[in-house]
Amino acid sequence: MSQTWKSQHGVRKNPQSPTYHDHLGLVYQKRNDLGKVRQHLERAVQINPKHPSADEARKALEALQRG
């Protein structure tokens, strides 16, 4: 099973999990799919702004905006 599939499956099973959205955002980052990176990292932060990976997600989103 690919990491993409595992993360997508996790999001489908638990769409309110910031962890799954964060992981899926990182998978898409490796694939250079910036739109999906933004979508999932923003969702992770929206679900739980105090999640342990939220600061990293915010930094990644800021880097995306800078280009």
Over residues 6-56, the pLDDT tens digits come to 889 999 999 999 999 999 999 999 999 999 999 999 999 999 999 999 999
Residue 67, pLDDT score: 80
> Under a CB-based contact definition with an 8 Å cutoff, are residues 24 and 8 in contact?
yes
Q: What count of other Cβ atoms lies within 10 Å of the Cβ of residue 40?
A: 26
Q: What count of other Cβ atoms lies within 10 Å of the Cβ of residue 22?
A: 25
> Under a CB-based contact definition with an 8 Å cutoff, are residues 7 and 27 in contact?
yes
Residue 32, pLDDT score: 95
Residue 54, pLDDT score: 95
- SS3 track for 52-64: CCHHHHHHHHHHH
